Amino acid sequence: MAGGAREVLTLQLGHFAGFVGAHWWNQQDAALGRATEDEESPGELCPDVLYRTGRTLHGQETYTPRLILMDLKGSLNTLKEEGSLYRDRQLEAAVAWQGKLTTHREEAQPKNPNLQDLLSAEGVRSSDGSWRAKLIQSIQNGKESSIRVWSDFLRVHLHPRSICVIQKYNHDGETGRLEAFGQGESVLKEPRYLEELEDRLHFYVEECDYLQGFQILCDLHDGFSGVGAKTAELLQDEYSGRGVLTWGLLPGPYSPGEPQKNIYRLLNTAFGLVHLTGYSSFVCPLSLGGNLGLRPKPPVNFPYLHYDATLPLHCSAILATALDTVTVPYRLRSSMVTMARLADVLSFSGKKVVTAEAIIPFPLARGQSLPDVLMQLGEATPWASLSACGDSAGRRCFAQSVVLRGIERASHTSKLNPGTPLPSALHACASGEEVLAQYLQQQHPRGLSSSHLLLTPCKVAPPYPHFFSSFSQKAMDGPPKGTAVQSIPVFGALRSTSSLQRTLGDLAEELSRLDLRRWASFMDAGVEQDDMEEMLQELHSLAQCYQEGDSLSN
């Protein structure tokens, strides 16, 4: 462990969280590969925040995510629960036991035939001792829809203590599903799963020197919302004072023709949000669905992306890219911003829910400067909402944390010749940091803003989907035609805004109109009528924290 790294432990809870997490770790792995190549790397981000060093029983050095991942039976496909870096558990048992040995095997999961030539998760150590990932072929057109599980495209090795499978519930099929919040809570009330989670937490936490906290990627739409709530409660009880940042994940648009599934999604989301805010430093919903409630809305539009909102592979890639950007402040080598400090800035006065917004990719065309692009954006709201909270244009921003990454230093300030009339005040700024800070001040003069400007772009190497428009590739001075985009500039923001008053209030109103007698199966899973009434009251109270008149000064 590198001295001074402020470690973070990541927890992924649920299958869509697995999709987002697979892209997230692939992006971290691609960034590690870049750092080992001959090209100069800015070295702005510290990978030891997210990764841990180790050694196999054969003496091989490893560098794996500091990760605990929970999913259901049948969700791993061909990925072994114990991973492949360390010696097989069955082999160890055979060596230890000298008596007669009988082996019972389940039928192996067949490999996805469309992905045979697609992925290689192998990592090799180069002569200088650094990790170098083997090249991966691009996901070809027609193969993306065949990817059903996140393990199909995960390219990194995981530690044997990372994956925890909840065997009592099935990933596929019509029965034995983890559908309701109460079911999820009950999972971590069972000694078997609670002790397993506690053991894994202790394993990772005890080897940390400067643990700053935990980031939870948690499905909100199904029973994993209950698993997440109990996990956050456990973290608050056992590791009080550490940051706990929860990213509540919802897949893309849903079908209006599935009423039970949609009602369950609504109830799980509401119970999850309320309980998670009680135990987290903040909660940020992440979705491209456009709406937390039951009224269908079009998926989020990105001018420079041609993505398919029905594919989890696409939606999760976009959310992972945003996540990789907005989490920058507590992963920098030089910054003193911790997870807890970031949460304090955004979630004062009970505002424990924040929104995420992004521009993916940031449209800096060849020959343009940062002041040029920001001036063109003007007072419009060019960033897309990633929290299913609607457009924040015209809404009060109480506080925000903004990251702009992947802009070359030569483009940070105006390129106008001396004596040329300045098109805007931004063109007079002496540094890129000053340009960004002044732009944010113009946009939200009453809000508290913090910002970071990085040279490091966001890595989108295969198996990241190839869904960039021809204009975006041209604007980014992208690679030659026919080759995949490797990295992009991204603008990302976490915000506390008054739009949440309406979003949370509307969610409570929809729930209050439900006839719960029609959904007795949800209540039978462990939720009482009193729990429902208390949740609605807390949701209304949470919404009131975002009234327009609220500010730091009152």
> H/E/C letters for each residue in 241-269?
CCEEEEEEECCCCCCCCCHHHHHHHHHHH
Tokens of 275: 């309980």
Contact 392, 292 (CB under 8 A): no
Tokens of 415: 């390129």
* pTM for the full predicted model: 0.89
Q: pLDDT tens digits for 59-77?
A: 889 999 999 999 999 888 7
Q: pLDDT tens digits for 334-366?
A: 878 999 999 999 998 899 999 999 999 999 988
pLDDT value at position 549? 67
Q: How far is CA 449 from CA 52, 321, 371, 511, in A?
A: 32, 22, 18, 34
pLDDT value at position 132? 34
pLDDT value at position 336? 83
pLDDT value at position 134? 38
Residue written as token pair 């009060």? 396
Q: Return the beta strands (E) in 272-414 as ranges.
A: 282-286, 355-359, 384-385, 397-405
Q: Return the beta strands (E) in 74-205 as ranges.
A: 123-125, 131-133, 163-170
Question: Which residues, other chains included, contact 184 with Cβ-Cβ below 8 Å and sequence gap of 6+?
Answer: 178, 222, 223, 224, 225, 226, 227, 228, 229, 230
* pLDDT lower than 50: segments of the chain: 1-3, 38, 88-99, 101-106, 114-138, 140, 550-554
Q: How far apart are the first and last CA of the chain?
A: 44
